[in-house]
Amino acid sequence: MCSRFEVNAKPRDLARRFGFEDLPLDFTEGEVRPTNDVLTVAMAGAEVLKWGLQVDWDTKPLINARAETLAEKPTFQPLLESRCLIPASAYFEWRRDGKARFKNRISLADNELFAFAGLTDGTRFTIVTSSPHPSVADIHNRMPVILAANTEAAWLDNALPFAEVCGFLNRADLNLEAEEDVPPPPRQPDLFG
């Protein structure tokens, strides 16, 4: 499950990569968390949307949607032709080892910008997730869908039915790199306490 990601790029690099003339100015840069104002890409161009759909059946925003069940779930069926891209430079996932959790920054090996597949209701969005690529499967059992650059325009083309673009949600050709935070050393007990 993706609950944080990173947008670490200069505005001109974002504009060049995703074909914008002008970027909206008020969006979260650096580490992005649910409910932040996030730069997204839709057919009309760059938009700033809140991360997390509001749903009647949960008080928490719905930040992720499973690719495998999108077409079956009543929450997502109306959004299947309201697709968007979420520009990113990395995402974060926590690996568990017993009670310990270790934060991993996962990016493309070439550190290029990429786009997650998303669905939007026009004011908010959710990130589509899938089973993990084998290179990061030991970290978590889900990951955000990273679209191939040559499929992004088709994903955005809401005139194309979901059935024609859902194949983009499974990629075997990713070259991912994970960097794990080094936990601080355990504290030495107070010898004089």
Asked if 95 and 136 count as a contact pair (C-beta separation under 8 A), the reply is: no
Q: Is 6 an annotated catalytic residue?
A: no
Grouping H, G, I as helix, E, B as strand and the rest as coil, residue 93 is strand
- State the DSSP code for 90: E
From the candidates 2, 21, 29, 84, give the one annotated as an active-site residue.
2
Q: Is 93 an annotated catalytic residue?
A: yes
**Locate tokens 């690099």: which residue?**
13
Cα radius of gyration rounded to whole Å, the chain:
18
What number of other Cβ atoms are within 10 A of residue 115's Cβ?
24
From the candidates 21, 72, 81, 93, give the one annotated as an active-site residue.
93
Residue 156, H or E segment = helix 152-156
Asked if 174 and 146 count as a contact pair (C-beta separation under 8 A), the reply is: yes
Longest CA–CA separation in the chain, Å: 71
Residue 11 contacts by C-beta under 8 Å, 6 or more apart in sequence? 23
Q: Which residues are catalytic?
A: 2, 93
